[in-house]
Amino acid sequence: MEYILKPFLFSSDLLEEAVEVVIDSGEIPWPQDVTLCVPPLSTQVTLHEQAECLATQAFLRMHGLRFTLDERPNAEFMSLTSKLPLLKVDDHFVAGFDAIVAYARLRVQYMNI
């Protein structure tokens, strides 16, 4: 079974790039080396950023998607969009809760999100 999402928009104020994504079911497993970059939650973080970071962690854990949590004081500067959290997968980044959920949905076809 083949899934086609068109267009796929990464949520960004600076960059909106439409990408046609074609995924053949079962061919693209969740990567082994995934890092979730968040600011240290004990520092001064806005309430909505903290909520997005915690929601992303909960989402990934609920679906059994492995990741390493990396608390960095400069996490928001690593993102092109300044959105948090930042998911590093292989050689690219996905920023923001909505974009991470969309990315996970594309990578893992059995998720009903």
Q: Name the range with the highest mean pLDDT among 8-12, 14-18, 67-71.
A: 67-71
Reported as a pLDDT band with limits 50, 70 and 90, residue 45 is confident
Percent of the chain with pLDDT over 90: 44
**8 Å CB contact between 84 and 33:** no
pLDDT at 20 exceeding the cut of 50: no
Q: What are phi and psi of 100, to 5 degrees?
A: -65, -40
- Supply the pLDDT for residue 10: 47
Mean pLDDT of the chain: 78
Residue 52 pLDDT:
96
Handedness of CA 78, 84, 89, 94 (dihedral sign): negative
